[in-house]
Every structure is written in C-alpha cells, then in structure tokens.
A and B are shown apart, each in its own frame.
Chain A
Amino acid sequence: MNGAELRARIERLGGAVTSHVWRLGFATRFLGYLVLHSGTALRRFRLTVKEVYFAGVLSLVIILVSGLFVGMVLALQGYETLQRFGASESLGVLVALSLVRELGPVVAGLLFASRAGSAITAEIGLMKATEQLSAMEMMAVDPIARVVAPRFWGGVISMPLLAALFSAMGIFGGYLVGVQLIGVDAGAFWSQMQAAVDLQHDILNGVIKSVAFGIAVTWIAVFEGYDAAPTAEGVSRATTRTVVLSSLAILALDFVLTALMFTGGKGG
C-alpha cells in the first residue's frame, strides 16, 4: 500500500468517525429540543395518552405472551439446577429475582424496540416522506412539539409498565410450571419470594432500568424517524437502525446499570 492509499484510508476513517460523532451530537441536540418543546405533549395530555395506547397497549399481547413463556422456561431450568442442591423450594426467589432485576426490563425492552420502536420510526419517517411534517411546518405547527414529543413521552411512560407486566406474567408462568406442574410447595414458592425480593434493591432498580431503556429506545426511534431519508429505502433503513441500535443500547445500558446497582452491595 503506497502513501496516497494509506492517506485516503485514514481520511475515510476520519470522515466516518466525524460523521458518527456529528450525528450523535445532532441526536443529543434533538433530544434537548424535544424535551424543551414538550409543553404541547404535556398540556394536551390526550395526545400523549393516544401514543401510550399505540406504543403500550398494542404491545401488550407480545409482552404478556413472551413473559409467560420466559417465566415457564425459567422455572423448568431453575428447578433442574436447584433440586441438585436440595433448594427447589427457592424456585420462586430465582424466578422473581431473575425477572425483576434483569429479564423483565431487558427482554421487555428488546420486544418494545422491535414492536413499538420500529413502528414509531416508520410512522414518523413516512410522515416526513409524504410531506406531512412539512405541511405542519407550513401551518405554523412545530412537528417536534406536535408529533415527536407525544410519541417520545408515550414510549417513556409505556416501557416501565410493560416491563412490570412482563415480570408479573413471568412470575405467574413460573408458578404454573413450578407449583402446578412440577409440584413445588406453593407456600414455600410465594413466602420465600416475598422474603427475598427487596422493594428498593430489586424492584426499584428494575423500574429504574426499564425507565432508562424506555428513554433510550424511544429517543432512538423518534430520532431515526425524524432523520430518515424521505424515501421508501430511507424509511426502511431507519427502521432497521432503530431495532439494531436500540437492542445494543439496551444491552450496553443494562451492563452499566447492573454494575452500578448490584455490585459491592447487598446481594451483589
């Protein structure tokens, strides 16, 4: 490789890095603008409630069914391991802590990104491609305040509720398999769970995670939709980017939050 080729490669690499940093900066400014112009979404709260319906209520089926199956699998796998150590009555604790601390927020977040995040990106991207956002601008209506902010807050509100429902359904699935199918004592299942799961350390931290994932996924979804190239291909690429980036963001954030919440303290 000669000097000119090497230089061209370095320039391309530098260009790609600069472009990504610029886009991250743009996305951050976009979030700041969106939060500052959320007055309409909060004043006319029915706009946000409508988005809670689209992002949250319409995601219920996939969240509840997935939660049920994840809880059932957890119980099967957990029982198999616990019984080797004569601790099968701790099955309820294992199922509940796994769900409340980790699987509830993370799997619900991943499902939320695939179901609601992609839909939000596609909708905003198509509104841009069909000049609906430009039409709003021409009517002196700020599309970020009117279209983007309600969807953002709708997603942020929906995500912790969906994660909670996912965990509740998972625990019920664990109960069905552990108690009803395998025959673990129901009293031990529930009482050990009640004794071991701490409101602040486990449940509150799980809620904090789901709020963080909700903000990350919805931010990525609305930004990708708003920044999509106004063509069929552009919207398709933006939708894919939403799912990929949201999933990576959830997993990376989960590691950071888990390291901050559950290491060095009680139960760590």
Chain B
Amino acid sequence: MQQPQIVEIRDVSFGYDAARPVLRDIDLEIPRGAVVGIMGQSGCGKTTLLRMIMGALRPAAGTLRVLGRDTAGLGREALYAMRREMGMLFQFGALFTDLSVFENVAFPLREQHGELPGELLHDLVMLKLEAVGLRGAAQLMPAELSGGMARRVALARSIALDPRLILYDEPFTGLDPISFGVISRLIRNLNDSLGATSIIVTHDVQEALGVVDYVYFMAAGRIIAQGAPDEIRRSREPFVNQFVNGQRDGPVPFHYAAPSYAADLELAAT
C-alpha cells in the first residue's frame, strides 16, 4: 500500500531575482514515517528548499504541498497552524540565550497552550529532556552547554509539541564524534518513536547516509540524483561520486576559475 506523502513538490522553481534562479524544476516526495536527506554542496539551494517547506518562501512556479496543505495560498494564521505540526532544529540550535534549558523546552508549550499547570508543564518538559538525555541539565543556561548538548536541548524543544514533521538544518555541523553519534541516533529514534517524518538538510554526507532512508542529491538548484543510501554510495554520477568520496577534483574543480598561472606570474614574456 502506498504511504501518504507528507511533502509533495512538483516542478518547483524559485529565485530571489529573475536573473538568478536558485531552484529549478524540483520534484520531490517525502512519505510519512521516512527520514529523508537532502544533500549537496553549500549554495546548491538545499536550505532554500527547506525554507520553502517551512513556508518562509513561496515558489515562483510549481506546487508545494506540506502536511496536506498547498503552501502557496496560506495566510499567516494557516501558516502558523501548519507550523504547529512541525518542529525545526536549526544549525546551531538557536536556543533562547536568556532562558534556562527548562524554560527553552517549555517555551513552545507555554506559547501554544497558555499557562499550563506547573506540575503538568514540569512533567512534559522532563519527558522531552529525558528523551535527549539531558534531564539533569534542566536548570543550566545555554551558555553553560557544549555544542552537542545545546543541539540536544534544541532537539528537545523542537519535539515539545509532538510534531508530525521534523526539519533539520545541518544538524551535524561542528559536532565532535561522540555528539555526532548521539544526535544521529536521536534523529532516528525520535522519528520512529514519535511516528514523525524527518527531513535532514546537510552536506555531511557520510554521517547522514547512516541515518536516512532516502536521499535527494542537489547541485546548482536541481536534483541530480536520488535513491536509498546504498544506491547513492554506488552512484556513477560524477558529482555524487566526488561528493560522497570527498575527491579533491572532479565536476567541482579544485581551482577557482582564474587566468593562466604563467600569465599571473608574468612568466609568458620571458
């Protein structure tokens, strides 16, 4: 039986101005329950695509349906209603620096449900913090946390409202190997235990391939390859091959475009 699609993108194009398209003819489907990676070099358009799925940007052409809604026609209230069913982990956590860990996780609960009874709020926050292993850090301030811990607190905050769709923007950037292992396992476990769907936008390809069910590979605003992690590892597409194996030269050259080296050193005349 075919799974319902949580995100459906058809022929979507987008550019901040008409002369420089950022996304071109994107077709993409994300089924319920999957952990899907959107990978590619910095500047390939993957974060723009994520911002579109969040509803922060509207496509210039094509249709984009998220959680059953066409995002093009959504007003502010409808957009906020959609976002209440979504969670987002930002690249560096984006924790509120003036609030403790407890208050950070409590923030979405307070804002969406008003003043909850103290005991209920406490239990809900502790439940989320326990899920990321940081119940003991509830009273710390964000400045007292390591990068990996801050990311885990942000993850607890992003699942506070039990979202149906969780978005991750470069979740592995700047993490040590232990924190990386913790975050990648949490992404997988939380997705499965909450019955959610997850989208990971990343260029940390080796790490992400160990977590995701399916991968879309982007380059220059287009999807150039897609498939299960093993298919991506075996891909013969030159760009994917260079990217996955971290090769110095290939379709993405080592040297930035420049005039000839000899001419630059003024060797040609001698």
**Residues of A in contact with B (beta carbons under 8 Å apart):** 127, 130-132, 134-135, 137-142, 146
Q: Are A130 and B94 in contact (CB under 8 A)?
A: yes
Known: A139-B83, A139-B108, A140-B112. A132 touches B94 (CB 8 A): yes
Known: A137-B56, A138-B54, A140-B84. A131 touches B90 (CB 8 A): yes
B92 contacts partner chain A, Cβ-Cβ < 8 Å: yes
- Residues in B with CB closer than 8 Å to A146 are 111
Which B residues from 128 to 157 make CB contacts under 8 A with A?
A: none
The CA of A134 and the CA of B91, in the complex, are separated in Å by 12
- Residues in A with CB closer than 8 Å to B94 are 130-132, 134-135
Quick one: which of B79, B80, B81 has the most chain A CB within 10 A? B80
Which B residues from 149 to 177 make CB contacts under 8 A with A?
A: 161
Known: A139-B83, A140-B83. A130 touches B92 (CB 8 A): yes
Q: Return A31 CB to nearest CB of chain B, in Å.
A: 19
Query: B79, B91, B107, B112: which contacts A131 (Cβ < 8 A)?
Result: B91
Quick one: which of A132, A140, A142 has the most chain B CB within 10 A? A140
Q: Are B90 and A134 in contact (CB under 8 A)?
A: yes
The CA of A141 and the CA of B84, in the complex, are separated in Å by 9
The CA of A138 and the CA of B82, in the complex, are separated in Å by 10
B23 contacts partner chain A, Cβ-Cβ < 8 Å: no
B193 contacts partner chain A, Cβ-Cβ < 8 Å: no
Q: Are A139 and B107 in contact (CB under 8 A)?
A: yes
Question: Given A134-B56, A138-B83, A140-B79, 6 more contacts at CB 8 Å?
Answer: A127-B96, A131-B92, A131-B94, A139-B108, A139-B111, A140-B112
Q: Are B90 and A135 in contact (CB under 8 A)?
A: yes
B270 contacts partner chain A, Cβ-Cβ < 8 Å: no
Contact indicator per residue, chain B 67-97, by CB within 8 Å of chain A (1) or not (0): 0000000000001110110111011101111
**Residues of B in contact with A (beta carbons under 8 Å apart):** 54, 56, 79-81, 83-84, 86-88, 90-92, 94-97, 107-108, 111-112, 161
Q: Return B225 CB to nearest CB of chain A, in Å.
A: 29
Q: Are B88 and A132 in contact (CB under 8 A)?
A: no
Residue of A nearest to B161 (CB): A139
Residue of B nearest to A44 (CB): B115
- Residues in A with CB closer than 8 Å to B96 are 127, 132, 135
Q: Return A95 CB to nearest CB of chain B, in Å.
A: 41
Residue of A nearest to B83 (CB): A140
The CA of A101 and the CA of B94, in the complex, are separated in Å by 46
The CA of A78 and the CA of B87, in the complex, are separated in Å by 65
Q: Are B86 and A138 in contact (CB under 8 A)?
A: yes
The CA of A260 and the CA of B17, in the complex, are separated in Å by 48
- Residues in A with CB closer than 8 Å to B112 are 139-140
- Please list the 5 inter-chain residue pairs (A to B) with the smallest Cβ-Cβ separation, ordered nearest first: A140-B80, A131-B94, A135-B94, A138-B88, A140-B83
The CA of A146 and the CA of B79, in the complex, are separated in Å by 17
Query: B79, B95, B111: which contacts A141 (Cβ < 8 A)?
Result: B111
Residue of B nearest to A54 (CB): B98
* Interchain residue pairs with CB less than 8 A apart (18): A127-B96, A130-B94, A131-B90, A131-B91, A132-B97, A134-B56, A134-B90, A135-B88, A135-B90, A138-B86, A138-B88, A139-B107, A139-B108, A139-B112, A140-B79, A140-B111, A142-B80, A146-B111
The CA of A130 and the CA of B56, in the complex, are separated in Å by 17
The CA of A127 and the CA of B97, in the complex, are separated in Å by 8
Q: Return B17 CB to nearest CB of chain A, in Å.
A: 17
Residue of B nearest to A140 (CB): B80
The CA of A54 and the CA of B107, in the complex, are separated in Å by 20
Q: Are B81 and A140 in contact (CB under 8 A)?
A: yes
Q: Return A19 CB to nearest CB of chain B, in Å.
A: 17
